Chain A
Amino acid sequence: KAGVTQTPRYLIKTRGQQVTLSCSPISGHRSVSWYQQTPGQGLQFLFEYFSETQRNKGNFPGRFSGRQFSNSRSEMNVSTLELGDSALYLCASSPGQGIQAQYFGPGTRLLVL
């Protein structure tokens, strides 16, 4: 099976802009989670989607949002970008919720100037 894919792999934006990142889970996986990875804060949970519904949310401002489509693909959106949003954004997929392990994508590296 193909692994989790994320697009784009690299992105440069300026403050105030908005960005949309995409994640395609492993075929058959219905749960998609998003994480932010920074040198200062490490890996932090953003949110999880299962069957097109947000099931869990981390401690991030409302500028961070996401959605999941009927084919389990997911997008996350960050509006009004700030310099501190520069990070590696990781997507992880799992067959279900809270039972099986998660498999991570390569990430999208976002740089906000």
Chain B
Amino acid sequence: AQRVTQPEKLLSVFKGAPVELKCNYSYSGSPELFWYVQYSRQRLQLLLRHISRESIKGFTADLNKGETSFHLKKPFAQEEDSAMYYCALRNREYGNKLVFGAGTILRVKS
């Protein structure tokens, strides 16, 4: 079965500190991994996808197939990064079906 685990419900850091939001997945094939973000009172929006290998708003994420992880990282947190972050997995055999983790609330304190 496909499963996405985000072990932290809440991650609280100070402004300027490094951030790492953890995501582990269980899937035997070659999944696609995504990070979605939901800012307060805004819709869920795509932040990163692993095949793009890009940095968005200073965030990066590397797919580690050996550890089945896709952790989201940012070297210096900003207050505007405070939001709910969801890790999601897609298996192309199932079209666009996304399997989401439970989400991690990131709070950046000043």
Q: Name A residues whose Cβ lies closer than 8 Å to a Cβ of B.
A: 3, 31, 33, 35, 42-45, 48, 50, 55-56, 58, 90, 92, 94, 97-99, 101-107
Q: Provided the pairs A42-B102, A42-B103 are in contact, do residues A50 and B43 lie with their beta carbons within 8 angstroms?
A: no
With both beta carbons as reference points, the residue of chain A lying nearest to B91 in the complex is identified as A98
With both beta carbons as reference points, the residue of chain A lying nearest to B101 in the complex is identified as A42
Give Cα A10–Cα B46 distance, bound, in whole angstroms: 24
Q: Which of A3, A35, A98, A104 contacts B95 (CB 8 A)?
A: A98
Q: Provided the pairs A42-B100, A42-B102 are in contact, do residues A90 and B95 lie with their beta carbons within 8 angstroms?
A: no
Of residues 75 through 110 on chain B, the ones whose CB sits less than 8 Å from some CB of chain A are 86, 90, 92, 94-103
Judge whether A104 and B97 touch: CB under 8 Å. no
Q: Provided the pairs A43-B86, A98-B90, A98-B95 are in contact, do residues A104 and B44 lie with their beta carbons within 8 angstroms?
A: yes
Chain A's nearest CB lies how many Å from the CB of B32?
8
Residues of B within 8 A of A48 (CB): 95-97
Q: Name B residues whose Cβ lies closer than 8 Å to a Cβ of A.
A: 34, 36, 43-46, 49, 86, 90, 92, 94-103
Judge whether B95 and A97 touch: CB under 8 Å. yes
Q: Which of B34, B94, B97 contacts A101 (CB 8 A)?
A: B34
Residues of B within 8 A of A3 (CB): 43
Q: Which of A31, A56, A102 contacts B46 (CB 8 A)?
A: A102
With both beta carbons as reference points, the residue of chain B lying nearest to A97 in the complex is identified as B95
Residues of B within 8 A of A55 (CB): 95-96
Residues of B within 8 A of A99 (CB): 92
Give Cα A98–Cα B32 distance, bound, in whole angstroms: 9
Q: Which of A31, A43, A90 contacts B96 (CB 8 A)?
A: A31
Judge whether A92 and B96 touch: CB under 8 Å. yes
Q: Provided the pairs A98-B92, A101-B34 are in contact, do residues A106 and B98 lie with their beta carbons within 8 angstroms?
A: no
Give Cα A43–Cα B90 distance, bound, in whole angstroms: 14
Chain B's nearest CB lies how many Å from the CB of A82?
23
Chain A's nearest CB lies how many Å from the CB of B27?
15
Judge whether A104 and B96 touch: CB under 8 Å. no
Chain A's nearest CB lies how many Å from the CB of B94?
5
